[in-house]
Amino acid sequence: MNINKGRKGGTMKHHTDLEALQPLDVDNCENLMEILDSMAQTSFGGRNTGRAWSVLKGVVDDPDCALVLTLSGAVTVAKLGRILGSMISKGVVDAVITTGAIVTHSLVEELGMQHYKAPPALSDDDLYKRSLNRVYDSIEPESNLEALEDFVRGAFSNLASDKAYGSFELIRHVSSRIPACDRSKGFLAAAYTHNVNVYVPALSDSELGLYLFRYTRYHKSPDATNITHDPLLDLSEYARWMFSRKRMAFLTLGGGVPRNWGQQMLPFLKSQDKWGGLPDGANLPKIVAAIRICPDSAELGHLSGSTYSEGITWGKFEPSSKENLVEVHCDATILFPILAKSLLDYIAQGKK
């Protein structure tokens, strides 16, 4: 057989204008980092994973690029909280935008309470009767949430009265009351310790928001403080923070409100500039990269599945950054730990 002949009998061509794929040779890979490097030369979801890894390395290699982490879904019930804490503690993450549910479940964990595997022998009716709240295949006991509300009410009572607070301020204050002995690895404790803001744009859509509602509207004790939540303070602080950055990148797990809330500010500020509403001397950062890990597809029509290319049409991203916009269609509980561990190892080894 003449291997130099093509299927039609002609001479086999070497397409020098194309980039060749490479076999994934795990025998020659010493660690996860090298496997991820090699995956960028493969196909399908593997190639996107390799591209995401490459972009993340570029972000942490740039000391002037701030990484914003946006989170939706029950990632703390899924036990990813310590990974988030490590990324904050090692200086990888500079701001977090998330849901009130993620904060609620993280507080449960960081205060020493447990989540459990859902018993397959029990029906949802049985779980309800036993006050066991199901999150897919896991359990958040109602007793955890009752204990958490007592803890949160105590935290609220120490806030200054007759004052409005953004969600980032409320969460920082509540997180400050996590016992010092439990602050070594948790997501919220790390954010508090390292002064990283945690924004919850839809705070009222969570147990934590409902605790605040009950505290401020019902069952108030005589010494309860009179506090309010003002979500516009979050926007103001996030905009102020952005003015202090040269470049920014996003790492998104899931989608939803946190994803859009973080991305919408730049086009808004650009439009504000047209009205002369920016502070004197304010400079807008450039969004240079974004990585999204989410199984949702664009044809579903919702924000979680929408593409970064669609975001370009809204001015959320610049066409020049298109090569650094990576979408990996995968369950974040599978892929995120692998990327996070590799990134932390990469930093520990001096970003070689």
The total number of structural domains that make up the chain: 1
CA dist., res. 30 & res. 35, Å (int) = 8
The reply to whether 20 falls in a domain is no
What is the pLDDT averaged over residues 84-97? 95
What does the pLDDT read at residue 87?
Answer: 95
The reply to whether 34 falls in a domain is no
pLDDT reading at 11 higher than 70: no
The whole-chain average pLDDT of the chain stands at 88
CA dist., res. 290 & res. 20, Å (int) = 25
The reply to whether 3 falls in a domain is no
CATH of the domain at 313: 3.40.910.10
CA dist., res. 188 & res. 110, Å (int) = 8
What does the pLDDT read at residue 277?
Answer: 67
Give the up-direction half-sphere exposure of residue 162: CA atoms within 13 A in the CB hemisphere: 0
With 0-12 CB in 10 A as exposed, 13-18 as middle and 19+ as buried, what is 111?
middle
**Model pLDDT for residues 243-296, shown as the tens digit of each residue:** 989 999 999 999 889 999 999 999 888 887 666 667 666 788 899 999 999 887
Domain of residue 263, residue span: 45-348
pLDDT reading at 7 higher than 80: no
The reply to whether 6 falls in a domain is no
The reply to whether 33 falls in a domain is no
The reply to whether 116 falls in a domain is yes
pLDDT reading at 352 higher than 60: no
CA dist., res. 234 & res. 138, Å (int) = 31
CA distance readout (Å), 62 to 34, 59, 246, 328: 21, 5, 11, 23
What does the pLDDT read at residue 297?
Answer: 77
What is the pLDDT averaged over residues 309-327? 85
What does the pLDDT read at residue 223?
Answer: 64
